Chains A and B, each alone.
Chain A
Amino acid sequence: MNFGDVIGQAFRLIFSLDPDLLEIIGRSFQVSLSSVVISAVVGAPLGAVIAMARFRGRGALVVVLNALMGLPPVVVGLLVYVMLSRAGPLGVFNLLFSPTAMIIAQTVLITPLIAALSRQIVEDVWQGYAEQFRSWGIRPIRAVPTVLWDARVGLMTVLLAGFGRAISEVGAVMIVGGNIDHLTRVMTTTIALETAKGDLDLAMALGLILLLMSLLVNALSHAVRRVAGPAASLARV
């Protein structure tokens, strides 16, 4: 089978809206979007507090957080696997090899990323604001929601970065999800499996969609920043 045939077959699968393909894409989105939402709720305020508060060991925490941005997905998968396995501390919930386990793993993977990037963005905004808020007598901790809101444009691109990392990683979801057909198969694990099996059509179709996703995420990120430039449209009275 040559390359052209594979690509052609892949497009046929995509445009015929193959039910297996759609199911896998749908699960990928379900898992990764859930992870991003949870990570955002935890990570963005965490990053903001680290950006705005002054406490002992803050510098070390920032270094650790930045280092955690590069967590290898397989290591996260392994750790979550150990936690969720029958003998593990969370074994009683019987979550291993379920989409929930995959959401947990991806959340662990991208929460540090979102927290670290949010910290940078919030810190930039807060540097401009800090003295004015001190003058108003508003304590930094009370200003956290304000600054998160005012940094919303930058934070949008952070969430997109987190989503991009979640949907494209394979190591963590493979280990804790197990790549079970009709249950825990997502785009990346399917590509790995089908390629190994030699069924390149489906793998290539999913690969193309992933590439498209990447393009879309970056285009969105760019659009968000462009809208924020003139920004008049963002103002709400």
Chain B
Amino acid sequence: MRYAGWPGRRRVSRVFENEQRSLLSLDAVTLDAGGTRLIRPVTADIPLGARTVVLGPNGAGKSLLLRLCHGLITPTSGRLEWLPGTAKAPPRQAMVFDRPVLLYRSVAANIRYPLEATRVPRREHAERLREALVFAGLEQRARQFAPTLSAGQKQRLALARAWALRPDVLFLDEPTAHLDLAATRDIETMINAIHHKLAGVILTTHDLAQARRIADHVVFVHKGKVIEWGAADSFFDRPRAPEARRFLNGELFE
């Protein structure tokens, strides 16, 4: 499954290796609400073709940061730039939420709805629906009313539905926060199966073990501030910030 248009990892990987190009660059991005500063100035780069994990304790502002990147909320100040240095328009994006938002319709109708609403060419619908059902492991449940699925099946459906839109960039907000271990493993397997075809996967989690399993790149957030960001290996082996060290040792409680 390859898509044309925005540079996927394969096409850009050469560039990536040579120049370390970034997918998204945040320049002094802040967010205020009701007189409170929720996100303190963030300057960070999300690398191209990587699985970036936004890591931090609950209430750190991970989800807000993800929504800022996706454009669900507008920053109070600062700039976001996709593929900085090129004149590319923002990539196609899709997002999976911590509590999957399923329409009160069948499993198949849930996959088909965004295909129709976002004007994916009609001739591709059947094939994409079939692939999404297989991807989610829900071929046998295509006609089932989606709200009656189990929590794990719901999130698999949400992820497969997002993938059916063939985004360039996939955002996932705590996708396994409400799932058990088996369902969590299913979701992680699905993410790993598609991330090669994406220009980037950006996922938030408070789960350190999950971050270690998935991350190529880490953005560590604490109290509305990006404390540290960089390659996952160096973050986990040699964290620079004291908060990051305490979080990795399981000692960060506030």
- The chain A residues found within 8 Å of chain B, CB to CB, are 125, 128-129, 131-132, 134-138, 142, 146, 150-151, 153, 230-232, 234-237
Is A137 touching B145 in the complex (CB atoms < 8 A)?
Answer: no
Q: Which of B31-39, B100-108, B186-194, B217-225 participates in binding chain A?
A: B100-108
Q: Give Cα A125–Cα B103 distance, bound, in whole angstroms.
A: 9
Question: Is B182 positioned at the interface, with any CB of A under 8 Å from its CB?
Answer: no
Secondary structure at the A interface, as helix, strand, loop or mixed, is helix
Is B72 touching A131 in the complex (CB atoms < 8 A)?
Answer: yes
Q: Pick from B93, B104, B109, B117: contact of A237, CB below 8 A.
A: B109
Q: Pick from A146, A231, A232: contact of B103, CB below 8 A.
A: A146
Is B94 touching A138 in the complex (CB atoms < 8 A)?
Answer: no
Is A236 touching B105 in the complex (CB atoms < 8 A)?
Answer: yes
Is A235 touching B109 in the complex (CB atoms < 8 A)?
Answer: yes
Question: Is B62 positioned at the interface, with any CB of A under 8 Å from its CB?
Answer: no
- Contact partners of B117 in chain A: CB under 8 A: 136, 138, 142, 146
Is A235 touching B97 in the complex (CB atoms < 8 A)?
Answer: no
Is A237 touching B101 in the complex (CB atoms < 8 A)?
Answer: no
Question: Is B95 positioned at the interface, with any CB of A under 8 Å from its CB?
Answer: yes
* A128-B101, A150-B105 known; A232 vs B144 contact (CB < 8 Å): yes
Q: Give Cα A64–Cα B106 distance, bound, in whole angstroms.
A: 37
Q: Pick from A131, A231, A234, A236: contact of B101, CB below 8 A.
A: A131
Q: Give Cα A137–Cα B90 distance, bound, in whole angstroms.
A: 13
Identify the closest chain B residue to A232 (Cβ): B145
Q: Give Cα A177–Cα B56 distance, bound, in whole angstroms.
A: 69
Q: Pick from B72, B113, B146: contact of A135, CB below 8 A.
A: B72
Q: Give Cα A138–Cα B147 distance, bound, in whole angstroms.
A: 22
Apart from A125-B104, A138-B118, A231-B145, what are 11 other A-B pairs with CB-CB below 8 Å? A129-B103, A132-B97, A134-B72, A135-B70, A135-B93, A136-B117, A136-B165, A231-B147, A235-B106, A235-B109, A237-B109
Secondary structure at the B interface, as helix, strand, loop or mixed, is mixed
Q: Give Cα A37–Cα B164 distance, bound, in whole angstroms.
A: 39
- Contact partners of A129 in chain B: CB under 8 A: 101, 103
Question: Is B179 positioned at the interface, with any CB of A under 8 Å from its CB?
Answer: no
Question: Is B248 positioned at the interface, with any CB of A under 8 Å from its CB?
Answer: no
Is B113 touching A146 in the complex (CB atoms < 8 A)?
Answer: yes
Is A234 touching B72 in the complex (CB atoms < 8 A)?
Answer: no
- Contact partners of A234 in chain B: CB under 8 A: 145
Question: Is B142 positioned at the interface, with any CB of A under 8 Å from its CB?
Answer: yes
- B119: min CB distance to chain A, Å: 10
* A134-B72, A231-B145 known; A236 vs B97 contact (CB < 8 Å): no
- Contact partners of A230 in chain B: CB under 8 A: 148
Q: Which of B88-146 contact A (CB under 8 A)?
A: 93-95, 97, 101, 103-106, 108-109, 113-114, 117-118, 142-146
6 tightest A-B contacts by CB?
A: A132-B101, A235-B145, A235-B106, A150-B104, A135-B95, A231-B145
Q: Give Cα A153–Cα B147 distance, bound, in whole angstroms.
A: 14
* A131-B72, A231-B145 known; A137 vs B109 contact (CB < 8 Å): no
Identify the closest chain B residue to A151 (Cβ): B104
- Contact partners of B72 in chain A: CB under 8 A: 131, 134-135
- Contact partners of B106 in chain A: CB under 8 A: 235-237
Identify the closest chain A residue to B93 (Cβ): A135
- Contact partners of B113 in chain A: CB under 8 A: 146
- B143: min CB distance to chain A, Å: 5
Q: Give Cα A151–Cα B147 distance, bound, in whole angstroms.
A: 13
- A130: min CB distance to chain B, Å: 9
- Contact partners of A136 in chain B: CB under 8 A: 94, 114, 117-118, 165
Q: Give Cα A102–Cα B184 distance, bound, in whole angstroms.
A: 60
Is B143 touching A237 in the complex (CB atoms < 8 A)?
Answer: yes
Q: Give Cα A54–Cα B94 distance, bound, in whole angstroms.
A: 24
Identify the closest chain A residue to B95 (Cβ): A135
Is B94 touching A235 in the complex (CB atoms < 8 A)?
Answer: no
Is B105 touching A235 in the complex (CB atoms < 8 A)?
Answer: yes
Q: Give Cα A112–Cα B104 distance, bound, in whole angstroms.
A: 26
Is A135 touching B94 in the complex (CB atoms < 8 A)?
Answer: yes
Is B104 touching A236 in the complex (CB atoms < 8 A)?
Answer: no
- Contact partners of A236 in chain B: CB under 8 A: 105-106, 109
- B108: min CB distance to chain A, Å: 5
